[in-house]
Amino acid sequence: MAPLKVSGLRKSYGGREVVAGVDFELARGECYGLLGPNGAGKTTILRLCLGLTAPDAGTIRLVGEPVPARARQARMKVGVVPQFDNLDPDFTVAENLLVFGRYFGIADAQTRRRIPELLDFAGLSGKEQSRLATLSGGMKRRLTLARALVNDPDLLLLDEPTTGLDPQARHLIWERLKQLLANGKTILLTSHFMDEAERLCHRLAIVDAGRIVAEGAPRDLIAREIEPQVVEVYGEDAPGWAATEGARHARRLELSGETAFCYVGEDQVQALLAHLATRSGLRTLHRPANLEDVFLKLTGRELRD
């Protein structure tokens, strides 16, 4: 049984379809990512999967239970890290875990026995009695992750688990998520960080305007969706060069500000670099294509709010 299976999911707000026919299925033990720009519908998809909002159409099966019909029962077996921490600021670290355990009908004594292990996992050992106000943003995020494990779920739903964290704190969360995967947990996460998705996700769906526009393993998406090599051309002369000669040298060319992104085949790289070397007003960076290139190709370079 798939930990989560979604078919034909649709949801409109105020006459606008924000989830416009979404299908995906998680395999046990995998990390599956929903990757998309702001407003793509990622959070709404998670909320639908948890039965926190009702779909207009489609079917959802979460840990074997039909949602929304048996959403409450399903949620008992799932761990959730919401986009914004909703820890209780008046409680201590330990009290936050105890209160959360009670939502799942777990006796305080039982949660108390697990607190050392949960705090050790979160890198918060010895912080049982600390007030929430004394914790950094990264610590609160780790506590939210520990809290999501109170009911020992096999499936975790994480909404932008590292947004707003500094690089050190992000790396620590990534390590913990990898540890959970190594222990056999299944993870569904949303993100708009390419490095996060590339690092953690076995498979991911690129979501835009409520639809899945591509799905696959990060490497397969790169191989399938985009030219293999990129030469970035910078400098004042780059827009002029892109408008006149650029297109002759690249399979595809995108201009963003003063940078021309030349997407080329393996066979074109050397000729392009040789040509650019003759142009003193241009600086270049040659690199293999990555997930961000795929993301920008499929979802565009315009700003989203």
Contact residues for ligand ADP (CB under 6 A)?
13-14, 18, 36, 38-44
Considering the complex, state which of residue 44 and residue 186 has its C-beta at the smaller distance from ligand ADP: 44
Q: How far is the CB of 57 from ligand ADP (least distance, A)?
A: 16
Give the whole-angstrom CA distance, residue 142 versus residue 124. Answer: 8
Q: How far is the CB of 193 from ligand ADP (least distance, A)?
A: 13
Q: What share of the chain is helix, strand, coil (3-state, %, to 5)?
A: 40, 30, 35
Give the whole-angstrom CA distance, residue 297 versus residue 51. Answer: 33
Q: Which of 28, 15, 80, 27 is nearest to 49 (CA)?
A: 80
Q: How far is the CB of 14 from ligand ADP (least distance, A)?
A: 6
Q: How far is the CB of 110 from ligand ADP (least distance, A)?
A: 34
Question: How far is C-alpha 265 from the geometric centre of its chain's CA atoms?
Answer: 29
Considering the complex, state which of residue 49 and residue 200 has its C-beta at the smaller distance from ligand ADP: 49
Run of H or E including 211:
strand 211-216
Quick check: 12 and 209 in contact, CB under 8 A? no
- Distance spanning both ends of the chain, measured CA to CA: 37
Considering the complex, state which of residue 38 and residue 270 has its C-beta at the smaller distance from ligand ADP: 38
Considering the complex, state which of residue 40 and residue 238 has its C-beta at the smaller distance from ligand ADP: 40
Considering the complex, state which of residue 102 and residue 301 has its C-beta at the smaller distance from ligand ADP: 301
Q: How far is the CB of 49 from ligand ADP (least distance, A)?
A: 12
* 205: DSSP letter: E
Give the whole-angstrom CA distance, residue 244 versus residue 300. Answer: 23
